[in-house]
Chain A
Amino acid sequence: MISNESLLLAAIAIPFLGSLVAALLPTNARNLEAWLAGSVALAEIGIFSVLYPAITDGQVVRSEWAWMPTAGLNFVLRIDGLSWIFALLIAGIGGLVFLYARYYMSPQDPVPRFFSFLLAFMGSMLGIVFSGNLIQLVFFWELTSVFSFLLIAYWHHDASARSGARLALTITAAGGLCLFGGVLVLGEIVGSYDLDEVLASGVLIRSHDLYLPALVLILLGAFTKSAQFPFHVWLPRAMAAPTPVSAYLHSATMVKAGIFLLIRLWPVLSGTEAWLWLVATTGLITFVTGAYLAMFQNDLKGVLAYSTISHLGLTTLLLGMDAPLATVAAIFHVMNHATFKASLFMAAGVIDHETGTRDIRKLSGLYRYMPVTTALATVAAAAMAGVPLLNGFLSKEMFFAETIETHDGSLMDTLLPYFATVAAAFSVAYSLRFIRDVFFGPPPTNLPHEPHEPPHWMRFPIELLVVVCLLVGMFPNYTIGPFLNVAVASVLGATAPKFNLAIWHGFTLPFVMSIVAMAGGIAVYAFLKLYNFDNRRMPWPAVGELIPTDFVGATARSAMRWIGTRSLQPQLRSVVCFAFVAGLAPLVGRTLFPETLQLTKIDAAFALVWIIGVVCALATAYQAKFHRLAALIFMSGAGIATFLTFIYLSAPDLALTQLLVEVVTTVLILLGLRWLPKRDERLLKTDSSMLMRRYVDLTIAMVVGTGLAMLAFAVMTRPAPQYNLAEFFLHRSYAEGGGRNVVNVILVDFRGFDTLGEITVLCIVALVVFALLRRFRPSPESIGSPEQKRIQEAFDVDHPDRRPGETIADYLLIPSVIMRLLFPVIGTLGIYLFLRGHDLPGGGFVAGLTLAIAIILQYMGGGAAWVEDRIRVFPLRWMAVGFAFALAGGGIALAFGYPFLTAFAYDLHLPVVGSLHLSTVLLFDLGVLAIVLGATVLIIIALAHQSIRTHRKPKAAAAEEAT
């Protein structure tokens, strides 16, 4: 026997698993998808019926798993009467919608996506009703918003579907954020997010100072989800979704999530002035406006959407009345509304499917073609209007009875029965119009298709739901009664009122209100028909219609226009300014410079180096626009000054690295210069706005430069803080790292993981460069040989004693001989630098760069073809091997149960050679070497190869040149 706890887990897991399977089925597998989804729904219903006996006596089935125990959060699933009845609704309507969708979706629609989303939505919705933890509830809540978005935009080629989806997501997800905030406040008050603990703390919550903020935030979440005025605007737009989605999400289940939450938290949040006013007023406004606007819709689904809004308002109003009986009516009405509204949506879908239109003005007299559908829709619409012997009548009577009850005696309380009757009359009017204008009257003309009855199984879900409407309407006590009792008991507990679901209470006031509403509805319909309201524009409260079609997209675009830019310069300017302000902010109100400056004696040579360095920097800035080579040389000047500073100020490793990087960077940029455009004289022209921009930038540059100089000076002249980090490394470098070069030991041992990350970045950059250059398309004017090469070739042609290409071959003849001779020397130096790196300046980075320079020099001296004939250059392999070494060097420790990158050392005593210090760090450093070597060489030669490749000109450019 499977325990109830595991059944509960299965109930959540099955739809999501089904969703995964559904996504993997073939594109056109409509039958298979429907079978799969239908089986999921049936399995759910089976699980619920097994669980039912465990919850009938007001008990709760709970199962808990540790989720984030440190934060006191558990993953809790719980089921009680209320969850059970909602779950049944979700699975039951879901199953019918799956069957209906099998026939509704066309063979061209990619159904795996559709059924996958629907099943995932079902799982999320069940997650909401089964959540025993409020944070978890919010998670599933947001998940339903996401799947609703995906389902509304299912036909994403349709612009209105996309914009409708965006609007729905924006409103419901924003509401979800509010709900999250509210739940956090609630958790703060109670000290726990566990639903059972929250439900037991009603008095504490209502008397707490934070009650009102929590209430408002939670209500915002519920009202946005349940399409309450003024957040209802998303629901009519969501009708762009396929009709099964509208029937399932946007009338039967998802929009009820807000109502569910209000019922769930009713015991702890209700019973205050604030609750009464906020919930009842919102419900009343939504109820009346929704019904009023529904009368003016010409789209069948539009009528149903506004009607849904109205009925959701009615339910909210019931919950706001703050009376136990009203809450009973609310739960009852949720169930009734789901049955008749889902069947009406499906009927609307059938009409759309079989006639090709949903416009009430075009439809007429359909009973001739589809008598059965006509009968079904008529019964469902009658339930919607509240006609006796149908389920809608029962809950509407209960509602009327509640409106008459005096609650607080305010004006609103007194007027409530009148509002209720008027809105009920409106709902009679739109129900009447839905049936009379569509199914009766003269035969239709100009319909896109010849109408006929739908396939039997497409009609079956409607038939079943209509039978439910009738059975509940006629025998409430034998059908819904017991389940309703269980649900009510789970919410209200001991205070649960006795209620009577009889269809005839005698000639009471509520019955009179029903009669008046019925007569009034017929009169309103006749009146509007007389004044030809079909072609009127929407009346004023239709705020939803005022919102432009693609509201969210348009807002986002205009926001981008104001706050965004496609231009880099303003962006960088704001980055620099922001960084400056961020750096300045902590300094405000403090003295920047210490009273006694700690200064070291000025060295004249150092001063001279930096006079040259600063001149180089300024010259670089001045020349970089038109004299790129000069700028590069000046930049290298500043680099050399930096290098000398490192040497002078006790940083030999930095100095070595800086010098080598300087060489490699210079070669790299020299190779790139060839592909840049020639000087464009037009760029010399300046206008006043350009000058203005330059002055602004010059000011920014000077201010930030000065600021950085002052900051650097302020720090350098302070005594060094006595902190332990430096001492830590100095003490342990030799004792624990086995190396005397502290910087190198930090890099390859203490902070080896950082270094591993860094060499990974280097690999990625090299591969990106390689990939970008493989399909390099240079600008057409850069494809031909450079001017210098052309002159040299022309010289060979003009001189009969010279062979073509001889000048270039002779070029740099003596340096290239020296470069060739230097190859073994530099190679040996590289290996030496590597081996001594642990104890003296050197190491993997420096050695890798040195070896790379040895190879690059050969390229410069001999040309790519010459080198590659003689040396095997496989930078990609070197990088791969290096990576393997680095991982192996770090991974050896894992094999012995130590953390990754723990170093092992072994002192080997060899005859003649003496003591040899072997360490896994050396292996790691060898990996660094190979990667630095491989990456550097790969980048440089990938760029160098572009000059000897033949580049095809783009067709357009070639044609342009030919003319």
Chain B
Amino acid sequence: MEIILALSIGALAGSGIWLILRSRTYQVLIGLSLLSYAVNLFIFSMGRLRTDAPPILEKGVPNTLAHYTDPVPQALVLTAIVITFAMTALFLVVLLVARGLTRNDHVDGRES
């Protein structure tokens, strides 16, 4: 499991970095989304991989890490997901407005 998730994080991050280094604004937008998947999964994986142990407390089960997965990385990632949406929305609108003003979609606002 670990090796699969690690390779997936690597592939997502690599694809994302490749895209944010490109010259079209849309590529950068998509690249940032891929990169945020990778980063969110990376942070999430810091709590180690556990199946069937969601941090939803059940009656009669001791409230320890032995029975539940670590909730802290999850709380961090949850807000990160929502903020990523906000960032994507803002960047999308900025790139649309920039395209209207510059009449091109190069990240520098002008074709080099």
Chain A interfacial positions (CB closer than 8 Å to B)? 566-569, 572-573, 576, 597, 599-603, 606-607, 610, 613-614, 617-618, 620-621, 624-625, 628, 631-632, 635, 638-639, 641-642, 645-646, 648-654, 657-658, 661, 664-665, 668-669, 672, 675-677, 697-698, 700-702, 704-706, 708-713, 715-717, 720, 725-727, 729-731, 733-734, 740-743, 746-747, 751, 754-755, 758, 761-762, 765-766, 768-769, 772-773, 776-780, 782, 839-841, 845, 932, 935-936, 939, 943
Query: Among A576, A620, A675, which residue has its beta carbon within 8 angstroms of that of B100?
Result: A675
- Are the C-beta atoms of A698 and B18 separated by less than 8 Å? yes
Residues A742 and B30 in contact, CB atoms below 8 Å apart = no
Inter-subunit contact B53/A650 (CB<8 Å): yes
Report B1-16 residues with CB < 8 Å from chain A CB.
1-16
Given contact pairs A713-B6, A727-B65, A743-B75, A572 touches B81 in the complex (Cβ within 8 A): no
**In the assembled complex, how far is the CB of residue B43 from the closest CB belonging to chain A, in whole angstroms?**
10
> Could you tell me the distance between the alpha carbons of A496 and B58 in the complex, rounded to whole angstroms?
86
Which residues from chain B contact A740 at a C-beta distance below 8 Å? 56-58
- Are B71 and A743 neighbours in the complex by a CB distance under 8 Å? yes
Could you say which residues of chain B place their CB within 8 Å of the CB of A649? 44, 49-51, 69
CB within 8 A of B93: which of A648, A715, A773? Answer: A773
Q: Which residues does B use to contact A, with CB under 8 Å?
A: 1-24, 26-31, 33-34, 37-38, 40-42, 44-58, 63-65, 68-72, 74-75, 77-79, 81-90, 92-97, 99-101, 103-105, 107-108, 112
For residue A741, which residues in chain B have a CB less than 8 angstroms away from its CB? 55-57
Nearest chain B CB to A714's CB is how many angstroms away? 9
> Mostly helix, strand, loop or mixed at chain B's interface?
helix
Cβ-closest chain B residue relative to A751: B75
A181–B18 Cα gap in the complex (Å)? 45
Known A617-B34, A668-B89, A742-B71; judge A610-B8 contact (CB<8 A): yes
Please name all residues of chain A whose beta carbon is closer than 8 Å to the beta carbon of B99 when the two chains form the complex.
Answer: 675-677, 778-779, 782
Determine the distance from Cα of A708 to Cα of B43 in the docked complex, in whole angstroms: 11
Cα(A657)–Cα(B4), bound, Å: 23
The answer on a CB contact under 8 Å between B70 and A726 is yes
The complex places the Cα of A368 from the Cα of B79 at a distance, in Å, of 82
Least Cβ distance of B71 to chain A in Å?
Answer: 4
CB–CB A712/B45 < 8 A: yes
B94 → chain A, closest Cβ, in Å?
A: 7
Known contacts A620-B15, A713-B6, A726-B47; can you find 19 more A-B pairs with CB under 8 A? A576-B20, A576-B21, A613-B8, A624-B24, A624-B30, A624-B31, A642-B40, A649-B44, A650-B54, A652-B56, A672-B95, A675-B100, A697-B18, A698-B18, A716-B45, A720-B65, A730-B57, A758-B83, A769-B89
Q: Which residues of B contact A711 (CB under 8 A)?
A: 42
The CA-CA distance from A935 to B88 in the complex, in Å, is 13
- B97 and A645 form a contact (CB under 8 A): no
B12 touches A617 (CB 8 A): yes
Residues of A within 8 A of B95 (CB): 672
Question: Would A657 and B78 count as touching, CB distance under 8 A?
Answer: yes
Q: Check B37 against A639 for contact (C-beta < 8 Å).
A: yes
Contact status B88-A755, CB under 8 Å: no
Q: Are B54 and A730 within 8 A (Cβ)?
A: no
| Chain A residue with the shortest CB-CB distance to B43 | A712
Q: Could you show 19 A-B contacts with beta carbons less than 8 Å apart?
A: A566-B108, A567-B108, A576-B17, A600-B2, A620-B30, A621-B19, A641-B8, A649-B49, A651-B44, A669-B88, A676-B96, A677-B105, A705-B10, A706-B10, A734-B57, A742-B57, A765-B86, A772-B94, A932-B82
Residues of chain A lying within 8 A (CB to CB) of residue B103: 779-780
Given the known interface contacts A635-B30, A730-B65, the answer about A776 and B21 at a Cβ–Cβ threshold of 8 Å is: no
Let me know if A754 and B79 touch, CB within 8 A. Answer: yes
A729: chain B residues within 8 A (beta carbon): 71-72
Are B1 and A654 touching (Cβ within 8 A)?
A: no
- Cα A33 to Cα B79 in complex, Å, equals 55
- Cα-based distance from A706 to B38 in the complex (angstroms): 12
CA gap between A778 and B93 in the complex, in Å: 11
Whole-angstrom distance between the alpha carbons of A768 and B87 in the complex? 11
Assuming the A-B contacts A625-B24, A649-B51, A730-B57, are A642 and B6 also in contact, with contact meaning beta carbons closer than 8 angstroms in the complex? no
Of A669, A717, A742, the most chain B CB neighbours within 10 A belong to A742
Is A661 a contact of B82 with CB atoms below 8 Å? yes
Residues of B within 8 Å of A710, CB to CB, are: 6, 10
Q: Which A residues lie within 8 Å of B96 (CB)?
A: 672, 675-676, 776, 778, 943
Q: B22, A624: Cβ atoms under 8 Å?
A: yes
- Evaluate whether A638 and B34 lie within 8 angstroms (CB atoms) in the complex, with A572-B21, A624-B19 already known: yes
Interchain residue pairs A-B with the least CB separation, the first 7: A705-B14, A709-B10, A713-B6, A621-B15, A701-B18, A742-B55, A742-B71
CB distance from A440 to the nearest CB of B (A): 63
Q: Is the CB of A625 within 8 A of B100?
A: no
Chain A residues within 8 Å of B24, by CB? 624-625
A841→B56 contact, CB < 8 A: yes
Q: Which residues of A contact B13 (CB under 8 A)?
A: 704-705, 708-709
Which chain B residues border A568 with CB–CB below 8 Å? Answer: 28, 107-108
**Residue of A620, A649, A727, A769 ringed by the most chain B CB atoms within 10 A:** A649
- On chain B, the residues within 8 Å of A650 by CB distance are 50-55, 69
Report the separation of the CA atoms of residues A720 and B46 in the bound assembly, to the nearest whole angstrom. Answer: 8
Chain B residues, Cβ within 8 Å of A648: 51
Check B5–A672 contact: CB distance below 8 A.
no
Q: Are B50 and A939 in contact (CB under 8 A)?
A: no
The reply to whether A654 and B45 form a contact with Cβ atoms under 8 Å apart is no
Residues of chain B lying within 8 A (CB to CB) of residue A653 = 74, 78
How far is it, in angstroms, between the C-alpha of A711 and the C-alpha of B41 when the chains are bound?
Answer: 13
Cβ of A567: which chain B residues have Cβ within 8 Å of it? Answer: 107-108, 112
Cβ-defined contact, A935 with B86, below 8 A: yes
Q: Which residues of A contact B69 (CB under 8 A)?
A: 649-651
Instruction: Please state if B63 and A716 are interface contacts (CB–CB under 8 Å).
Output: no
Shortest beta-carbon distance, B3 to chain A, in Å? Answer: 6
Q: How far is the CA of A761 from the CA of B56 in the complex (A)?
A: 28
A731 touches B63 (CB 8 A): yes
Q: Smallest distance from the beta carbon of B24 to chain A beta carbons, Å?
A: 6
Q: List A contacts of B14 (CB < 8 A).
A: 621, 701-702, 704-706
Q: Bound complex: CA of A147 vs CA of B91, how far in Å?
A: 40
Knowing A650-B50, A712-B42, A716-B6, say if A730 contacts B17 (CB, 8 Å).
Answer: no
Query: Are the CB atoms of B49 and A621 closer together than 8 Å?
Result: no
Partner of B92, one of A610, A639, A668: A668
Distance of A642 Cα from B77 Cα, bound (Å): 12
Q: Distance in Å from the Cβ of B84 to the closest Cβ of chain A?
A: 7
Max chain B C-beta neighbours (<10 A), residue from A618, A651, A712, A717: A712
A943 to B88, CA, bound (A): 13
B49 A716 Cβ-Cβ under 8 A = yes
Say yes or no: A743 contacts B74, CB within 8 Å: yes
CB <8 Å contact, B100 and A778: yes
User: B90 is contacted by which of A631, A754, A765 (Cβ under 8 Å)?
Assistant: A765
Among B89, B94, B112, contact of A939 (Cβ-Cβ < 8 Å): B89
Residue with the greatest number of chain B CB neighbours at <10 A, chosen from A624, A669, A711, A729: A624
Q: Give the distance to chain B from A182, nearest Cβ to Cβ, in Å.
A: 45
Question: B75 — which chain A residues lie within 8 A by C-beta?
Answer: 743, 746-747, 751
A712 near B6: Cβ-Cβ < 8 Å: yes
Contact of A708 among B9, B47, B81, B83 (CB under 8 A): B9
Q: Contact at B107–A762, with CB atoms within 8 Å?
A: no
Given A668-B89, A778-B96, A779-B100, A610:B5 Cβ within 8 A? yes
Minimum CB–CB distance for B46 against chain A, Å: 6
Q: How far is the CA of A772 from the CA of B103 in the complex (A)?
A: 17
- In the docked arrangement, what's the CA distance between A769 and B82, Å? 16
Please, how many angstroms separate the alpha-carbon atoms of A924 and B107 in the complex? 40
Establish whether residues B88 and A665, one from each chain, have CB atoms under 8 Å apart when the complex forms.
Answer: yes
B8 / chain A contacts, CB cutoff of 8 Å: 610, 613-614, 617, 641
Q: Are A742 and B15 in contact (CB under 8 A)?
A: no
Q: Which residue of B lies closest to A615 (CB)?
A: B11
Please, which residue of chain B has its CB at the minimum distance from the CB of A726?
B70
Contact yes or no, A606 B4, CB < 8 A: yes
A654→B6 contact, CB < 8 A: no
| Cα distance, A657 to B103, chains bound together (Å) | 36
